[in-house]
Structure 1
């Protein structure tokens, strides 16, 4: 996803596989580059912070211990445990140190740090760049056409990851690490035919909506087992079987294999078959209840899917109200705009601060791309990048000469002119923010007026409930064969995102970016910035008019995201504006606005 000198962020789970399932969270694997894992070491390499050796003797298949062969700086010793005269890298100590650094904003969830709202999981991993002997048989095992030689080589070239979690109940659980093939599994899923991907999605829906609703079955199965089953079947069957006309037989074959696995308590890991993932897990009374439920579902054939409310609703709506093709595309557009997983993924993207490399790479990819669909997508990403990159340009520094400051000014302005292609408003407002920072208040007001003119009722904000007029307008645009990215440029009023320590945020909001990025509703920021400009121009009447309009916008949630965080920030902005105007009446109103902000979001710092 993104990478810097210390960390690489890799999307995982459903979102990383290209599926957005109801109730899914965002899974991200954070690969720590300061540790290196080897099978054996022949020479010392002082450039590597800490050497770690795999030690798999007397460890369950699929897991390993990491023996510390070359100790790094003293602060890394806190992660080590001594056993039989040897030092091992402790998965438990490592997780707890990460939890401590998270300042009580996360909780431990298996090998992951999860935010308290349960929207995202971060697993801190260690990378081994070479393939491991435990999975060597996989390289030559399949003589079928799947996976192809090229895909296998890509998976082998990447190596494996180590996730900080041991075998539950093991006496050495604290120093054990699970071997993860997450990246290899993503590469395999990228080879799935559409039919195979649908089978996988349907199994996941059946598990979440039907099977796991029984309290006894809730924690017995997980999506990883379903994925493993499809991998094995894919290896056994010719690729020609996975065609649209065979969707039902393929799905039923997968369901029968799941029943077989539960019946015999066996689900072999795809890369390391010696690891039976059902061992000591699917057993006893809970296994019997699960098996009965699976057999009952199987008795309904493919119609068992309609026990899921997602699919039963779809069936009824298709019969009662035939869906026009444009409406179907509009619904998909609404899903993308309101995708919480996509939004969370961009949060990680925004948190990455080395924009110079990404910015240059974005330009290269956009220029060299010949496919129009990818060109639009690259333009979108480059537009977002420009908005972030420009925020790190030093505009006012006493150490710089006038000539250098002018060069920085031109560079920032040029970059921001490329920041207007990812939605209809926020890029223009970042440009207005730039003019405010360089005290060109009249220029800022012209751009703010243009931005506000684009905030019309038919436009869409993230996470808002779409009305009939929104669907009709997007239908009209889609009928012109407009791409999703082009449609965002026309229809979407995205929130404004200021990077950590942004150089473009007004000084009145500087506190908000001291420790993290800051997001604010575009329409709210537009009127707030307008108030600031008029304030500096001593336009008292205009300040009062803008303030009244801002209050109405916030009270009526006009062109605003429905997310509580944005509503809370809006009242905070209103409070700052009221406080700025200074008299006792405004002071009381400011206090009320701040209290309303805290009431909406009590957890804010």
Structure 2
């Protein structure tokens, strides 16, 4: 029995490490929920599937549902209300159980051309064509997200089958077929006969049942441990304390999911309303506060340049951007300050920008840098990495403090951002751009010193930028190319055209997809 208890605890620890403890699963669900509340305010997003339930299993994809705001569905014509949306009415004649046709109720003559392309005739009725609707959605998505290429069942998928996007039509009321589920009886189980059998259960039967359950348990572990998802159980070091695994996994899940890379439409009021009125637990308040701060930080980064604004508009934009960036400082400890420094650089407050950069780098201590280098890759944490977390003093701090300290991987600027340095304006003409935080800090410091004509500080910043490039040469290829672009710009401003040409040429040769500005800058030299 003691062996079985030990085996059971070891398997439980492994499941907590592999799938996630109750708190880790809750954190996953909350981070995805915060992303849903902060998603496109015109098209509501709902995270679904196994990941939406808080599970992150090997090979599982990301399932997202989007509620199409153009349409509204009613069960019958007597319920239909014309409110500016295209009204569809359910038609269940000659359909399989749980399936329905959607008949157009809105006058087809007033439909826009785009909507007419997804309507087909059937027995004299105008019906929504599921196939044409999906093809039209795929066409629109491909224009902005080229890797979304395929239709699989009801979903639009990417080339690697990592994402499933389902566009849905909403009915605001429970349909009659579903109302029985709401009022279903909940007191019929367990039945009286089953309760009677349980109460008459004797000791001999109990021992027999325990023996059967123990054998089934052992067979169950063997079956699970030989599966593709849980085949690492026998190699799992069970002596690792659950608290250490929990801390590391919890940090990784929140940091990986609470900061989406690109969100063009921000529903910041939805996040704020949820934070103020519905977040009761410490974990939910932490996650939604981080998400709210990140969205505040993203607003000025996503605002476009305004050509020749008047003084009043300039002052209004300045105060607005500054307030959002200051609120955004609560989302992380380093990149938020660097975005603020970039904001002051754009507004020619070079000394203020330098002061913020120096403060930021002083806060970027060795243990934060080491966590940046080892943590939050897409691979699973290994035992030596978990030991690093266990010894790391950051784990003694509150969860909010830790997350603000470690989410320092890069600085993101949205397409056509108004707060990116003008020297990088061309790099964000179409797509967002990410820069490693340390190289970007030295690059920004160089620009400030250059405009102040402090050439001694310029040379020192170039030296630090070159060192950081060598130090972070193991970073992702995309990040490495962006750092070389920063170096090339520095040498170009310093009139070292040969070195700039060499760097831009090297990046252009590696940049087969033309995701950088290297080719353009090379042509300008």
* TM-score by shorter chain over 0.5: yes
> What is aligned with 1:492?
407
C-alpha contact 2:268 2:295 (8 A) present in aligned 1: no
1:156 paired residue number: none
Aligned-partner Cα distance in 2 for 1:138–1:549: 65
Whether the 8 Å contact between 2:329 and 2:336 is mirrored in structure 1 is yes
Greater mean deviation of Cα atoms: 583-592 or 7-16: 583-592
Of the three residues 96, 113, 125, the one matched with 1:86 is: 125
Change in Cα spacing, 1:10 to 1:500, as seen in structure 2 (3 Å) is farther
Of residues 13, 32, 40 in structure 1, which corresponds to 2:68? Answer: 32
Distance 1:442 1:386 in 2: 25
Aligned to 2:361: 452
The equivalent residue for 1:336 is 253
Residues 500 and 516, structure 1, Cα contact 8 Å, conserved in 2? yes
Is this contact kept in 2: 1:326–1:475, CA < 8 A?
no
Tell me the equivalent position of 1:116: 159
Deviation at 1:35, TM superposition (A): 0.6
**Residues 65 and 310 (structure 1 numbering): CA distance in 2 closer, same or farther, change over 3 Å?**
closer
Q: TM-score, normalization: structure 2?
A: 0.73
Query: Contact 1:534 / 1:542 at 8 angstroms: preserved in 2?
Result: yes
Contact 1:495 1:519 survives alignment (8 Å): yes
Q: 1:311 & 1:415 partners in 2: Cα distance? A: 44
Q: Which residue does the alignment assign to 2:447?
A: 532
Structure 2 stretches lacking a partner, 5+ long: 1-35, 199-208, 518-525
Equivalent pair of 2:450/2:458 in contact (CA under 8 Å): yes
Moved more, 547-556 or 465-474: 465-474
Residues 590, 563 of structure 1: alpha-carbon distance in 2 compared, 3 angstrom cutoff? closer
Cα contact 1:421–1:489 (8 A) shared by 2: yes
Contact 1:37 1:51 in 2 (8 A): yes
Aligned to 2:323: 414
Match of 1:346 among 255, 260, 265: 260
Residues 52/513 of structure 1: CA separation in 2 closer, same or farther (3 Å cut): farther
**Which residue of structure 2 lines up, in the alignment, with residue 20 of structure 1?**
56
Q: Deviations over 1:346-394 (max 9, x none)?
A: 24xx4142455347537745xx966544433333222212201343678
Counterpart among 55, 79, 98 of residue 137 in structure 2: 98
Aligned with residue 240 of structure 2, among 319, 323, 332:
323
State yes or no: 1:592 paired with 2:505. yes
Question: Is the Cα–Cα contact under 8 Å of residues 247 and 395 in structure 2 kept in the other structure?
Answer: no
Shift in Å at residue 31 of structure 1?
0.9
User: In the alignment, which residue of structure 1 is the partner of 2:269?
Assistant: 357
Aligned in 2, Cα 1:312/1:399: closer, same or farther, shift over 3 Å? closer
Give, in angstroms, the shift of residue 4 of structure 1: 5.1
> Per-residue CA shift, 1:305-343, capped at 9, x if unaligned?
110366453444345xx113443234324642674xx26
Structure 1: unaligned runs, 5 residues or longer:
147-232, 242-248, 254-296
Aligned residue number for residue 521 of structure 1: 436
> Map of 1:150-299 to 2, 5 A cutoff?
none
Could you list the per-position Cα deviations for residues 162-196 of structure 1 after superposition, in whole angstroms to 9, with x for gaps in the alignment? xxxxxxxxxxxxxxxxxxxxxxxxxxxxxxxxxxx
| Residue pair 1:423, 1:494 contacting (<8 A) in 2 also | no
- Shifted more, 43-52 versus 583-592: the winner is 43-52
Residue 245 of structure 1: aligned partner? none
1:557 aligns with 472
Residue 57 (1) aligns with residue 93 (2): yes
Offset of residue 427 of structure 1: 0.7
CA 1:96–1:393 in 2, change beyond 3 Å: closer, same or farther?
A: closer
What SS does structure 2 have at the residue aligned with 1:108?
strand
Give TM-score scaled by structure 1 length: 0.64
Higher relative contact order (CA 8 A, sep 6+): 2
Cross-structure match for 1:379? 289
In structure 2, the residue matched to 1:283 is none
1:424 alignment counterpart: 333
Distance 1:44 1:512 in 2: 49
Which residue of structure 1 aligns with residue 26 of structure 2? none
Q: Is the 8 A contact 1:298 1:304 kept in 2?
A: no
Task: Check if 1:472 corresponds to 2:388.
Answer: yes
Distance 1:51 1:454, change over 3 A: same
Say which is worse superposed, 505-514 or 377-386, in terms of deviation.
505-514
Residue 74, structure 1, aligned to residue 113, structure 2? yes
1:121-163 CA-partner distances (Å, limit 9, x unpaired): 22111111112233343234442499xxxxxxxxxxxxxxxxx
1:421 Cα deviation after fit: 2.2
Q: 2:266, 2:385 → 1: CA distance?
A: 41
**Equivalent position to 2:347, from 438, 445, 459:** 438
Measure, in 2, the Cα distance between the counterparts of 1:580 and 1:337. 40
Give the superposition deviation at 1:32: 0.6
Residues 6 and 34 of structure 1 are in contact (CA less than 8 Å); yes or no, is this contact kept in structure 2? no
Distance 1:327 1:537 in 2: 49
The answer as to 2:181 corresponding to 1:138 is yes
Partner Cα separation in structure 1 for residue 112 and residue 266 of structure 2: 25
Cα deviation for residue 112 of structure 1 reads: 2.1
Distance in 1 (alpha carbons) for counterparts of 2:484 and 2:121: 54
Instruction: Give me the whole-angstrom Cα distance separating, in 1, the residues matched to 2:292 and 2:469.
Output: 31
CA distance in 1, matches of 2:227, 2:221: 12
- C-alpha displacement of 1:518: 3.2
Residues 93 and 16 of structure 1, relative CA distance in 2, 3 Å threshold: same
| Alignment pair present for 1:401 and 2:311 | yes
